[in-house]
């Protein structure tokens, strides 16, 4: 006899585990199915998905460690501090990252208990419609088990996209999984793809001493970001020593146990070779639906491998929802979480809401890049009349005091109504500063609203206020 639940969630990434917790909070009976052990020493399924195990959290831990190292080696001197003989112990750094991951994934086990979420260990596969809902067959270490959900939430996430002819072994040629656990700093690191992973993980290993070369197919850098931001960041990354070749065409890649040679054609059409000790392939991610058996419930994936859903994440089959990386929209943990909350609330009979216009983006390099809403090029393409206010951190006392003066805040507002349409930030604390902009946009604030709010002095947030004031050319400190 199968166990019956109001909701069965497949996948315990940030989409799935948050959906399960919210469902539990709302008094629904809920099970969450997860089968991936990642690097668990006992081979037990680990909760938290890509984000906690091989994505957001471990990458940010390594970014923090490498940033500390770079500050000590290169910037302590600016404060009058002399440090000699600073060394990095890569094994210790990686262990610190693993401990953080262990703590966080363990924390979800606790949250499941607290919110009465039943964890079903194993990989789930849809077996069809039955009395009382949809049946999911779960295959795990302990054998096979069947659960039935009146509602199903598919939250199976994504996997790294690989390129034909470039075999990832996660030792010499790595995707995100291998790139988060190098045993030593490579002398020469090659990166294919100047996207978020390439820039973040490329920065980690560059700060620790690797010579990093990034090969990017597109002629323009960070095409999704505001053009002004992308231009400034390309300059900053280049100054930092990241070598970037845009508009390349990757050819044959030859690997031995110890080295890789990437043949490519550069933007001028010349044949080039990049020899490196390790290669990271970070050319995007693809939705993960292998083994789900969507056909059993009358579903299939679209031409991009995604499960089609409506604005409320409902699939074509009533009672089956899909959220996170496996559906349309940006592949971001907080977007998956918002959808998880929305769907559980809808199942519980509430309204459920997710505002896709205010999903923030962050690139956690140094400085960080963060934005929300429209870019200038999008507004121009839409023909929308707008005004822009920009203010540099260079003119902010707090930023100067903490050696944080690179970058700026740019506020874009409607020319007529003054409604804030987009905010773009380059600064080491951009990921935190962007929250004010998201809040402002959620409440349909005007640039004048931000300009009239009292911001603490001295603080980096004053730059957000000044950029808002600059929309009407009335910034105070420049
Ligand atoms: P996932 O996190 O991929 O989780 C899906 C889970 O479902 C997995 O655990 C998988 O094992 C499980 N699963 C799959 N199939 C089955 C099945 N049949 N049965 C049972 N379980 C199954 N996003 C950010 O917002 N900020 C960041 O800083 C950030 N950094 C990142 C860094 C890296 C290196 C990477 C790779 C990604 C990063 N992301 C970041 C993206 C973020 O990790 C994803 O957007 C997010 O994890 C998606 O959540 P999800 O729940 O949809 O899927
Ligand atoms: P990405 O989509 O950010 O970047 C991939 C890059 O590879 C693009 O610039 C693309 O033009 C390039 N590319 C594609 N094919 C290529 C080829 N054949 N040769 C050379 N270049 C090629 O993907 P990435 O960096 O792999 O990250 C995947 C996703 O994970 C991101 O889109 C994002 O959603 C998420 N992520 C989010 C982070 C954050 O929020 N800070 C951090 C890391 C990942």
Q: How large is the greatest C-alpha to C-alpha distance in the chain, in angstroms?
A: 73
Alpha-carbon distance values, 269 to 254, 276, 399 (Å): 20, 22, 43
What tokens were used for 188?
């020469």
Per-residue pLDDT tens over the stretch 354-378: 999 999 999 999 999 999 999 999 9
Lining ligand 1 with CB less than 6 A are: 10-16, 33-36, 49-51, 55-56, 59, 123-124, 155-158, 176, 197, 288, 291-292, 324-325, 331-334, 336, 364
Q: Name the nearest CA neighbour of 177 among 328, 370, 326, 36.
A: 36
Task: Specify the pLDDT at position 1.
Answer: 73
Give the distance (Å) from ligand 2 centre to CA of residue 283.
Answer: 5
- What are 302-316's pLDDT values in tens digits? 999 999 999 999 999
Query: Which residue in 478, 452, 312, 289 sits closest to 397, CA to CA?
Result: 478
Return the CA Rg of the chain: 24
Assess contact for 98 and 82: CB atoms under 8 A. Answer: no
CATH number for 367-470 (one of 3.30.390.30, 3.40.50.920, 3.40.640.10, 3.40.50.970): it is 3.30.390.30
Q: Kindly report whether the peptide bond that precedes residue 367 is cis, defined as omega within 30 degrees of 0.
A: yes
Q: Parse the chain into domains and list their residue ranges.
A: 3-159+286-357, 173-283, 367-470
CB neighbours (10 Å) of residue 356? 12
- For residue 191, which ligand has an atom nearest its CA? 2
> How many of the other CB atoms lie within 10 Å of CB of 106?
12
Going from the Cα of 322 to the center of ligand 1, the distance in angstroms, rounded, reads 13
Which ligand approaches the C-alpha of residue 159 most closely?
1
In CATH, what class is 173-283? Answer: alpha beta
Alpha-carbon distance of 344 to 414, in angstroms, equals 35
Q: Give the CATH H-level superfamily of domain 3-159+286-357.
A: FAD/NAD(P)-binding domain (3.50.50.60)
pLDDT by residue, tens only, the chain of 478 residues: 789 999 999 999 999 999 999 999 999 999 999 999 998 989 999 999 999 999 999 999 999 999 999 999 999 999 999 999 999 999 999 999 999 999 999 999 999 999 999 999 999 999 999 999 999 999 999 899 999 999 999 999 999 999 999 999 999 999 999 999 999 999 999 999 999 999 999 999 999 999 999 999 999 999 999 999 999 999 999 999 999 999 999 999 999 988 999 999 999 999 999 999 999 999 999 999 999 999 999 999 999 999 999 999 999 999 999 999 999 999 999 999 999 999 999 999 999 999 999 999 999 999 999 999 999 999 999 999 999 999 999 999 999 999 999 999 999 999 999 999 999 999 999 999 999 999 999 999 999 999 999 999 999 999 999 999 999 999 999 9
Token readout for 52 is 């906690």
Structure confidence by residue, pLDDT tens digits, 82-95: 999 999 999 999 99
Tell me if 3-159+286-357 shares its fold with 367-470. Answer: no
- pTM beyond cutoff 0.75: yes
State which of 112, 122, 156 you would mutate to test the pocket of ligand 1, scoring each by most atoms of that ligand within 8 A of its C-beta: 156
Beta bridge mates, 414: 386
């Amino acid at each position: 006899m199968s166990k019956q639940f109001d909701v069965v969630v497949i996948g315990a990434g940030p989409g799935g585990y948050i959906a399960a917790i919210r469902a539990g909070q709302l008094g629904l009976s809920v099970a969450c199915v997860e089968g991936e052990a990642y690097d668990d020493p006992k081979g037990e399924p680990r909760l938290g998905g890509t984000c906690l195990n091989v994505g957001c959290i471990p990458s940010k831990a390594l970014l923090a460690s490498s940033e500390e190292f770079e500050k000590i080696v290169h910037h302590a001197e600016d404060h009058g501090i002399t440090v000699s003989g600073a060394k990095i112990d890569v094994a210790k750094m990686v262990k610190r990252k693993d401990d953080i991951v262990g703590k966080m994934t363990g924390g979800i086990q606790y949250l499941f208990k607290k919110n009465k979420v039943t964890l079903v260990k194993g990989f789930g596969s849809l077996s069809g419609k039955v009395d009382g809902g949809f049946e999911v067959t779960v295959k795990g270490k302990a054998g096979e088990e069947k659960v039935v959900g009146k509602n199903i939430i598919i939250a199976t996430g994504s996997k790294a996209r690989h390129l034909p002819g470039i075999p990832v072994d996660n030792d010499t040629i790595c995707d995100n999984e291998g790139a988060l656990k190098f045993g030593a700093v490579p002398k020469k690191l090659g990166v294919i793809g100047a996207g978020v992973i390439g820039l973040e993980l490329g920065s980690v290993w560059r700060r620790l001493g690797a010579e990093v070369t990034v090969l990017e197919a597109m002629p323009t850098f960070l095409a999704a970001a505001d053009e002004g931001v992308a231009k400034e960041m390309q300059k900053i990354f280049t100054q930092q020593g990241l070598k970037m070749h845009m508009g390349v065409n990757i050819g044959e890649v030859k690997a031995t146990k110890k080295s890789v040679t990437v043949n490519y054609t550069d933007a001028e059409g010349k044949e080039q070779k990049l020899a490196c000790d390790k290669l990271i392939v970070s050319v995007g991610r693809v939705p993960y639906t292998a083994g789900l058996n969507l056909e059993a419930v009358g579903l299939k994936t679209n031409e991009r491998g995604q499960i089609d859903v409506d604005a409320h994440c409902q699939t074509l089959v009533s009672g089956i929802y899909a959220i996170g990386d496996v559906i349309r929209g940006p592949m971001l943990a907080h977007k998956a979480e918002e959808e998880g909350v929305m769907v559980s609330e809808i199942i519980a009979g509430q309204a459920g809401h997710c505002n896709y216009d205010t999903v923030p983006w962050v690139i956690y390099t140094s400085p960080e890049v963060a934005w929300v809403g429209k870019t200038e090029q999008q507004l121009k393409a839409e023909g929308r009349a707008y005004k822009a206010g920009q203010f540099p951190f260079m003119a902010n006392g707090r930023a100067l005091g903490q050696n944080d003066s690179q970058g700026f805040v740019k506020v874009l507002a409607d020319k007529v109504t003054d409604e804030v349409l987009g905010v773009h930030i380059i600064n080491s604390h951009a990921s935190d500063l962007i929250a004010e902009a998201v809040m402002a946009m959620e409440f349909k604030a005007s640039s004048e609203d931000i300009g009239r709010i009292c911001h603490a002095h001295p603080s980096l947030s004053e730059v957000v206020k000044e950029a808002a004031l600059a929309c009407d050319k009335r910034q105070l400190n420049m």
